[in-house]
Chains A and B, each alone.
Chain A
Amino acid sequence: MTHSDDVDHLAECSACRQRFAANVVPFDPAARRNREREFTSVGAKLERERDDSSDVVARYLRDTPTEEWSRLAEMPDLRNNAALEQMSEEVRRRLHRKPREALAIANLSASIAESLAPSQYPSVVLAQLRGNAWKDRASTLRYLARYDEALEAAERGEEALAPFASLEHDRAVIRMVKGMILAQQEQFEDAHQILSESRRVFREFGDTKRYIQAGMAQANMLYREDRYNDSSELLQDLLHDAISSDDLEAQARIHNNLGHSASQLGDFASANIHFSEAVAKFTDLGFVAEVPRTAFGAGVLLIGKGQITAGLARLREARQEFTAAGMVDEAGLCALRIVETLIECGEDTAARQLTQDVIDEFTAAGLDARAITAIARLRDAIEVDDATAETVRTVHAFVRDIGTSTAT
């Protein structure tokens, strides 16, 4: 029998668990029976609420104007754990594309969680609900770059959990968000400490997904601190975890980030391998938008590092994928990056032809006329040899700002 670490062993071996518990008799058998009854009834109640509330939040959000969402806090069928779980999911869905709506839902969720009757759930469950609602608010505020308020929300969440020793996992989730906020505020030392501690907790709970998530946040921070070797080393460790837990999405994102770190370290051969791995894995996952975005990011970075041929190849690959996915605006923005590089290399004829292609594509797709006019002026400027890379960048920024594209 192996006992390399007996706590880990207890988690794995039912015989040892039984033996370990054998000599400890219940402190108060009657109290334990009561607690068991409470556990069973709370478990059943949460399940019942989930069964009875399917899509209730989506329906209310659909049928209510956004500016009136705060009033939904009074609706009785939204004042339970299942509805709050659904709100958390709605926040997650909107976080990237509609962060303001995400914030409105997170506010609604916090307002409901804070006003639930103490008798509705055991205090430890109520604390979890409140902690999670504040965590969602902190996340959305972080996306909106309102860092001070985000930090305040995370701390409210921590306060809700503070009296409960048993909520270390919930605490680690909130503190991970807090660490990310501090990283955005460039308080790197505090952020490292918090994220490391969160990782330790996630590791101990066997929560590999969040362990990787916190690790990636830390690796990104190291990258921002120009500590590319440290970032790369951490990402390599995380890649092992992602592979052993069969988490393909995490593998793809880690490869992408390893590609960026390798580029910064001047190891372009390794960078190309990692970018290719990322693209292949996103393709396997069917993440249509992530494939060209990864290639796009790689292309821009490689060109910035003077790897013109490899960078242009990545950008062309990205443009092709954007077009195939029907993302005409992003394909056009990607083309403008290529045009910028071609002009810098003196290849004006190719640049002019590509600009004309974008005009044709935008016109066929019926995109904003102002964008088409701006690109037409760029084409004319290239024609008379009056365009510089700076001109292209100005047009790129203009087209990006009036469109909905995220390919920046």
Chain B
Amino acid sequence: MDDAPADLRTIPLPCRVDENVFARIYEENCGVLVSVAVRKFQVPAGDAEGLAHDVLLSYLRRADEIRDLHHWLIGAICNASRYYWRQRGRNIEQLDTDVAAQRPDPRSRNVLTDLPNSIALEEVLDRMPPRWARILRLRYLEGYAIKELADLEGVTSKYMQKLVAKCIQRAQEIFNGLRDKKDRDQ
């Protein structure tokens, strides 16, 4: 069997790159990298700037071997954001506490009657992909409109509508699974 080679060759750039090219790369990409870290992973804005900057710096040594710059940079910031939270002992994405504080949970008014439902809901949300859980929280606990959610996530309303439907379907599947497990345990 052919063994996989242990390293890959890098091909030098065919011509010298001037500083304007680097400036343009930074200007065109820094904003979107910060946005991905902040919006999709809830990395605090100051730290997101630092992560985006480090991602761009790390690109400089690999520039010669990268075929698709945007794909590489977006992959890099997503991975960097996950690592950021792993370093802080969290494997989940963070809810924006400022946004949550502005819109208190409407269920807390009838806490005694709603508590069992809330517990079940939390169990379901805990088992969902973090971004989907956050969308459901904002939509159904915080009362965000589809348009607001779409703006917040930087996608179209039509896509957000589809995404919310998918989230509900997944939540239902998880809930059914949990209920079956509890029935079996009893």
A26 at the interface (CB under 8 A from B): yes
B128 within 8 A of A: no
Q: Quick one: closest B residue to A43, CB to CB?
A: B22
Contact A165 B51 (CB under 8 A): yes
Q: Does B42 contact A (CB under 8 A)?
A: no
Residue of A nearest to B85 (CB): A165
In Å, the complex CA distance between A40 and B16 comes to 14
Question: Judging by beta carbons under 8 Å apart, are A95 and B7 in contact?
Answer: yes
Most chain A CB within 10 A, of B2, B21, B22, B53, is at B2
Whether A156 is near chain B, meaning CB under 8 Å from some CB there, is no
Set A12, A36, A43, A213: member contacting B17, Cβ < 8 A: A43
Contact A180 B4 (CB under 8 A): yes
- The reply to whether B6 and A139 contact each other, CB–CB distance below 8 Å, is yes
A223 at the interface (CB under 8 A from B): yes
Check if B45 is an interface residue, CB within 8 A of chain A.
yes
Q: Mark A27-60, 1 if CB is under 8 A from B, else 0.
A: 1100110011011111110110011000000000
Answer yes or no: B10 CB below 8 A from chain A CBs: yes
B49 in the interface (beta carbon within 8 A):
yes
Determine which residue in A7, A24, A38 has the highest number of CB atoms from chain B within 10 A of its CB, and name it: A24
Chain B residues, CB < 8 A from A210? 8
A-contacting 9-mer, from B30-38, B95-103, B106-114, B176-184: B30-38
Q: What A residues does B83 contact at CB under 8 A?
A: 165-166, 168
CB-CB under 8 A from A208, the residues of chain B are: 67
CB proximity to B under 8 Å, residues A1-40 = 1, 3, 6-8, 10-12, 14, 16-24, 26-28, 31-32, 35-36, 38-40
Report A87-104 CB contacts with B as 1/0, cut-off 8 Å: 011011001000000000
A24 to B153 Cα, complex, angstroms = 11
Contact flag A36-B30 (CB < 8 Å), given A3-B156, A95-B7, A206-B68 = yes
Given contacts A7-B74, A165-B51, contact A92 B4 (CB under 8 A): no
Contacts of B79 in A (CB 8 A): 168-169, 201, 204-205
| Separation of A95 and B155 alpha carbons in the complex (Å) | 48
How far does the Cβ of A47 sit from chain B's closest Cβ, in whole Å? 6
The stretch of A252-260, A358-366, A380-388 in contact with B is A252-260
Report the interface size class on chain A: 35 or more
Q: Contacts of B155 on A, CB cut-off 8 Å? A: 3, 6, 16
* B54 close to A164 (CB less than 8 A): yes
Task: Report whether A20 and B9 are in contact in the complex, using a CB–CB cutoff of 8 Å.
Answer: no
Which chain A residues border B126 with CB–CB below 8 Å?
A: none
C-beta contact mask, B51-85 vs A, less than 8 Å → 1, else 0? 10111111011100001101111111011110110
Q: A21-B34, A124-B54, A260-B1 are in contact. Are A92 and B68 (CB under 8 A)?
A: no
A257 neighbours in B (Cβ, 8 Å): 1-2
A20 engages B74 (CB within 8 Å): no
CA of A223 to CA of B2, assembled, Å: 11
Q: With the chains together, A205 CA to B74 CA distance in Å?
A: 8
- Chain B neighbourhood of A31, CB < 8 A: 49
Q: 0/1 per residue, A150-176, Cβ < 8 Å to B?
A: 000000000000001111111000000
- Interface positions of A (Cβ within 8 A of B): 1, 3, 6-8, 10-12, 14, 16-24, 26-28, 31-32, 35-36, 38-44, 46-47, 50-51, 81, 85, 88-89, 91-92, 95, 122, 124-125, 128-129, 135-136, 139, 142-143, 164-170, 177, 180, 201, 204-210, 213-214, 216-217, 220, 223, 253, 256-257, 260
- For the complex with contacts A3-B162, A12-B71, 16 further pairs of A-B residues with Cβ separation under 8 Å are A7-B40, A16-B155, A20-B154, A36-B26, A38-B53, A43-B22, A46-B60, A47-B17, A124-B58, A125-B58, A135-B7, A139-B6, A166-B57, A168-B80, A170-B58, A223-B1
